Structure 1
């Protein structure tokens, strides 16, 4: 059977129209994205111009944060996301104008632009960038972004004045590790570093995983004869488990102190779990799940394991009907107010920010120096970025009852940020509430 062999003339004409319409829609979408980048770049320039006019010592950093916060709050996006988009847009518009113009004309897509800009990011001379961009755009018109990536990398090398060794030395300064949260209580761990080391790490994990896999295969027959379950983990699963073992239990031999202080460091996480979930054997299907850092659901088995090995718990008391947090206590109280605020706020209280509360500063909404009380009604958790924004920009915050924050932006807009709901079990007024005596 040959595909579309039996299609009628009208069906083929409809297909041709759809292809043309999709092509036009994609071209229009690319043009609109280019227009958005132009406005984001303009917003960045405006912030820098304001800072330059006032001779700000930070060279516009706080002004850019303030503008990004204004745009982000209006679009219900994190200001970090907006600032990153402003930087990316400025890089495209200012350093690769020919690429931006080609996207605005609908000749290439935003994906093509990203590939071209990333490959030519290290070209310092404007003339080199212009010559590179002109050739790259012509290639991009007829190639997919995936194919284009290899071509423009080679093309950019022709215009590089600095050696790969020099560029690698600079790139080495950007090494880092990060976590990306996923669904179903899972997350991804990413790393940026020298290619040789990362490929070596993966190879060592693979060798270990294959060795365990072979040993498991030899032991499977004995396990079956004894009526025991066999270890049937895949190589991918074994690599992940081995990485967790090495990071969580191994010692950093190459970096530890003379007193082995780094080897004593233990991983730390914060988990909230309803007490009924811990008590109920059928919790996976009948109760609320546990949460990591107030945002990421995790399975009940993991939560129970962590609870059983914890040296101490913070108890969060909630209203049985509304679920509102009432108080926080501990059998051996310590820094009571800090625990209360971390449990209440769970994350940075600036609109759109998701930095967990344990990584935040506790700030007086009304300064203590002007009579502000050191109490939960005048304190909130702000990440360092938004803590600085509050003190060094026109953004203003007031706290009302229930921990509700009212933020006023530099343009006069008001944004309400409420404490996140607690991870707890609630009851309706008709539900019987009995105490376990």
Structure 2
């Protein structure tokens, strides 16, 4: 096996034959798969070392739009202290959510899918393939019991994990039916061997943005709904062409779908005799002007790109112009804010103007590798505000000022408050974090990067968590 591949002129890749190259890349792939399996083993052991305590709740996934939470692994897997996953995500260079998924998959495989787990450890099933199965069994609806998960495990392990998404869904559906996990449906055919699991969904893949500024949408519709939508898109595309659009058919159908989302529902609900002029706006565009935009005379000259606050994505200026061109678009231009100005107030509560400045400066939660939008975050006092300082005639150590405020999502705000994680602002929008185990990270507007310590942290000097 080739241990290293040196650069040009050093007996490296250029000197390898075709056969050598194939052997080398196969070796690297095998090493990668072994390392992925080792990560699962280590993640499970990390979970073993961090059971929930009285001051730390068990880790779980929140379900958007509801108060319901889903566990990181299914029934029969051990619980894990929620705050320990931030430390793991930090050293992996991933978000806390990604670390939560890694630990959840490891526990799901070890405790509920033991046959598949054994095949991963033996190198017969790649870790990524086993994790896909674990993700499905963890979040099945209704939840799988240990027996039902064992049924899926036996079927998948029999084919060394080689099942596609459709096959896996059928296996889960069969497990739900076989173990009577679904609520009885009076209209269901008791002789039907295939469980009626509703597959309908509409998913917008907002993490996969094309350089042209587009997103992919995936949907599973009722047949009648699909036929109606197809007709509506065909009609909309034809209308756009009749109005002079030179775009290809696919682009016109895509634009027609956007038109449906913005106007069709409002028009239908308004009724035939309604006053269309007082309908709510089809789209609202809020423009924030910053001092980093150039100025030429009395006109503001923006660069060719802007930043979309939702998702923190760059957008082309031409796209913004198109968004604003619709006659039913509401355009709001926010007052100019200098993101480098130091604003302050004598109160503990953060005024709207200061909050807006901090939100626009930080863009996301400032915890390492967290990408939650700042607008939905708490505004935290980096240096704790002393509510009794004024009464005692002491200077306020943690004032409500731009230089002492940062955006933290609710989870990382709680983590900062109740654990030994600490951070400080080194310059506007730039933060240095230190974990309980002494690992340090720099977070700025370009992202997160680890700070190499001058010497390894001393485990005996790790501070104990702060108790509420």
TM (normalized to structure 2)? 0.64
Post-superposition offset of 1:375: 0.8
Q: Which has the higher strand share?
A: 2
Task: Confirm or deny that 1:377 pairs with 2:403.
Answer: yes
Task: Confirm or deny that 1:290 pairs with 2:306.
Answer: yes
**Uncovered stretches (5+) of structure 2, i.e. residues with no partner:** 1-16, 61-78, 186-194, 271-277, 344-350, 389-395, 448-468
Within the candidate set 318, 332, 352, 1:335 is matched to: 352
Work out the CA distance in 2 between the residues paired with 1:87 and 1:238: 43
Question: 1:71 — aligned with what?
Answer: 88
Q: Which has the higher helix share?
A: 1
Q: Give yes or no for contact 2:148–2:179 (8 Å, CA) kept in 1.
A: no
Match runs of 1:111-190 below 5 Å: 111-117=128-134, 120=137, 122=140, 124-140=144-160, 143=162, 145-146=163-164, 149-159=165-175, 160-162=178-180, 179-184=206-211, 186-188=213-215, 190=217
Question: 1:32 — aligned with what?
Answer: 35
Task: Confirm or deny that 1:237 pairs with 2:251.
Answer: yes
Distance 1:212 1:44, change over 3 A: same
Task: Confirm or deny that 1:42 pairs with 2:45.
Answer: yes
Within the candidate set 421, 424, 442, 1:398 is matched to: 424
Question: 2:441 — aligned with what?
Answer: 415
Distance 1:357 1:163, change over 3 A: closer
Cα distance per residue 1:187-222 (max 9 Å; x no partner) = 426578xx445x6555433211222445567x4xxx
Distance 1:163 1:387, change over 3 A: closer
Q: Which shows bigger deviation, 247-256 or 336-345?
A: 247-256
Distance 1:242 1:363, change over 3 A: same
Question: 1:312 — aligned with what?
Answer: 333
Post-superposition offset of 1:380: 1.0
Q: Give yes or no for contact 1:346–1:356 (8 Å, CA) kept in 2.
A: yes
Match runs of 1:321-360 below 5 Å: 325-326=340-341, 335-360=352-377
Distance 1:101 1:213, change over 3 A: same
Post-superposition offset of 1:343: 2.5
Secondary structure in structure 2 of the residue aligned to 1:99: helix
Task: Confirm or deny that 1:387 pairs with 2:416.
Answer: no
Post-superposition offset of 1:68: 1.8
Work out the CA distance in 2 between the residues paired with 1:357 and 1:18: 47
Q: Give yes or no for contact 1:206–1:235 (8 Å, CA) kept in 2.
A: no
Work out the CA distance in 2 between the residues paired with 1:405 and 1:396: 10
Within the candidate set 246, 254, 257, 2:260 is matched to: 246
Post-superposition offset of 1:338: 1.8
TM (normalized to structure 1)? 0.68
Work out the CA distance in 1 between the residues paired with 2:43 and 2:267: 46
Cα distance per residue 1:357-409 (max 9 Å; x no partner) = 22222111222426421111211111222112212222122334435333221
Question: 2:76 — aligned with what?
Answer: none
**Uncovered stretches (5+) of structure 1, i.e. residues with no partner:** 1-13, 224-229, 319-324, 329-333, 422-437
Work out the CA distance in 2 between the residues paired with 1:251 and 1:305: 22
Post-superposition offset of 1:254: 11
Q: Give yes or no for contact 1:361–1:387 (8 Å, CA) kept in 2.
A: yes
Work out the CA distance in 2 between the residues paired with 1:377 and 1:327: 7
Within the candidate set 180, 195, 205, 2:229 is matched to: 205
Task: Confirm or deny that 1:299 pairs with 2:298.
Answer: no
Distance 1:64 1:188, change over 3 A: farther
Secondary structure in structure 2 of the residue aligned to 1:106: coil
Q: Give yes or no for contact 1:68–1:79 (8 Å, CA) kept in 2.
A: yes
Match runs of 1:4-19 below 5 Å: none
Distance 1:367 1:263, change over 3 A: same
Work out the CA distance in 2 between the residues paired with 1:137 and 1:63: 27
Secondary structure in structure 2 of the residue aligned to 1:412: coil
Secondary structure in structure 2 of the residue aligned to 1:344: helix
Post-superposition offset of 1:25: 5.3
Work out the CA distance in 1 between the residues paired with 2:203 and 2:355: 30
Work out the CA distance in 2 between the residues paired with 1:417 and 1:119: 33
Match runs of 1:256-295 below 5 Å: 267=284, 275-276=293-294, 287-293=303-309, 295=312
Question: 1:58 — aligned with what?
Answer: 57
Q: Give yes or no for contact 1:99–1:137 (8 Å, CA) kept in 2.
A: yes
Q: Give yes or no for contact 1:342–1:381 (8 Å, CA) kept in 2.
A: yes
Give the aligned length.
Answer: 370
Work out the CA distance in 2 between the residues paired with 1:277 and 1:298: 20
The alignment yields a C-alpha RMSD, in angstroms, of 4.5
Post-superposition offset of 1:99: 0.4
Cα distance per residue 1:396-424 (max 9 Å; x no partner) = 22334435333221112232323569xxx
Question: 2:456 — aligned with what?
Answer: none
Post-superposition offset of 1:20: 7.2
